[in-house]
């Protein structure tokens, strides 16, 4: 990569100030563009077909620009996954900020609906396929999976709805799994096999409304003041 340049649009370079280290904002711009292009290539072509060289070429950068940040293709893919996770968490945080006064069951419903949308996102589906087909999830060199903040948030919403007597008492982990299996697993599995379930917003909303009622049929309490 030429001195004084940074990644901009694919295959292009934009001049930056010469001399000295790049500013934090400039470095972040390079990072964001690099990961966005890597995510696009991994999602479109798969893990095996996406080399560091291809990512560098698509970015209009030298391989050393990538290897300075990520020592291997696996490290680059891990960073792409972390970027995706961060975007999901930011989206879920928006729900928390925008609707803080909703009751606990309404908050759980909104969160479950958002997670259905997220899990049917084509890019995320592609990453899940990669993780399964390339066995990237099971890495014997790691001590163990880190706590999942998305599952932690969902479990906390289930627990709060239980405490407010909208859901039956019992193990919140079991109810959280029951919610995921009731609403999210089916369409996600179909998408993983190449189908396009719930492709329109109308279909998705209708499906969610029906499965949410079924979830409450099995997990809802008998509290007459329960939210719907």
- pLDDT higher than threshold 50 for residue 116: yes
| DSSP conformation class of 7 | E
Q: What percent of the chain has pLDDT over 90?
A: 59
pLDDT at 108: 94
Which of 26-35, 75-84, 114-123 shows the lowest per-residue confidence on average (mean pLDDT)? 26-35
Q: Closest by alpha carbon to 166, among 129, 216, 123?
A: 216
Q: Closest by alpha carbon to 179, among 140, 211, 202?
A: 211
* pLDDT tens-place string over residues 157-182: 999 999 999 999 999 999 999 999 99
- Contact in structure between 101 and 17 (CB atoms under 8 Å): no
Residue 6: both structure tokens together: 């940074």
Domains of the chain: 1-80 (1.10.10.60), 102-228 (1.10.357.10)
Handedness of CA 171, 173, 176, 177 (dihedral sign): negative
Q: How confident is the model at residue 11 (pLDDT cuts 50, 70, 90)?
A: very low
State residue 120 phi and psi, 5-degree precision: -100, 5
- Element of type H or E holding 13: strand 13-15
- pLDDT higher than threshold 90 for residue 62: no
């Amino acid at each position: 990569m030429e001195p004084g340049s940074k990644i901009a649009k694919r295959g292009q370079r934009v001049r930056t100030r010469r001399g000295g280290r790049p500013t934090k904002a400039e470095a972040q711009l390079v990072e964001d563009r690099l990961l966005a292009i890597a995510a696009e290539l991994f999602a479109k072509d798969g893990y095996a077909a996406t080399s560091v060289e291809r990512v560098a070429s698509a970015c209009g950068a030298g391989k050393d620009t990538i290897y300075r940040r990520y020592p291997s293709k696996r490290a680059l893919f891990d960073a792409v996954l972390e970027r995706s996770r961060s975007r999901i968490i930011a989206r879920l945080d928006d729900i928390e900020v925008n609707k803080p006064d909703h009751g606990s069951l309404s908050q759980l419903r909104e969160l479950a609906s958002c997670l259905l949308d997220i899990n049917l996102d084509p890019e995320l589906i592609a990453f899940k396929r990669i993780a399964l087909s390339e066995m990237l999830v099971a890495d014997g060199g790691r001590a163990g999976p880190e706590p999942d903040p998305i599952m932690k948030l969902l479990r906390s919403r289930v627990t709060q709805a239980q405490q407010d007597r909208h859901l039956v008492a019992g193990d919140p982990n079991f109810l959280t799994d029951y919610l995921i299996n009731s609403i999210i697993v089916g369409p996600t599995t179909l998408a993983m096999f190449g189908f396009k379930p719930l492709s329109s917003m109308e279909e998705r909303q209708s499906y969610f409304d029906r499965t949410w009622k079924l979830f409450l049929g099995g997990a809802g309490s008998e509290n007459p003041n329960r939210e719907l």
